[in-house]
Amino acid sequence: MPDLDATEVWDRAIEYLADGLPEDAGYGDRHLTEALSVNGAIEANGMEQVFEAHDLAEAIIAFHWFGLVDVAEFLEEAPSRIGTNLDEDEEEDASNEYYDLEVVDRLAEALEEKLETNPEAFLPL
């Protein structure tokens, strides 16, 4: 299998957000798309958005797979720790706590590692 380019795999996952995952998508593609979806929702609309529009269980699995255990644990604990019906200040605090995890940069690094160690988890480009 030829080397996979992390930027191209990332960009393809962004396209999957708009167009849907192909049936034969690998589990790496699925996890990346889920992680990007949840991250995008939080960055665009804050923590409360993720409670309303996403299956956190899938996101938690995705972040664990990429080795971002602290992100997975944050999402796992968030509903009980910070609640799902937040006022504006609570929502801002929770979102800032998430932003402090620097998810995008770390996910990009984790993707590069997974492309080296688990290339079969991704569709070829």
Nearest to 86 by CA among 49, 42, 37, 60: 49
| Residue partners of 96: CB distance under 8 A and separation at least 6 | none
pTM: 0.90
The answer to whether residues 125 and 10 touch, using CB atoms and an 8 Å cutoff, is no
C-alpha to C-alpha distance for 68 and 19, rounded to whole angstroms: 26
Give SS3 for 68. Answer: coil
Q: Which residues of the chain have pLDDT under 50?
A: none
pLDDT tens per residue across span 70-92: 999 999 988 776 666 667 787 78
Token pair of 86, please?
């937040």
Residue 16 exposed, middle or buried by CB count within 10 Å (0-12, 13-18, 19+): buried
pLDDT reported for residue 93: 85
pLDDT reported for residue 78: 81
pLDDT reported for residue 87: 76
The answer to whether residues 120 and 26 touch, using CB atoms and an 8 Å cutoff, is yes
pLDDT reported for residue 95: 85
C-alpha to C-alpha distance for 62 and 84, rounded to whole angstroms: 21
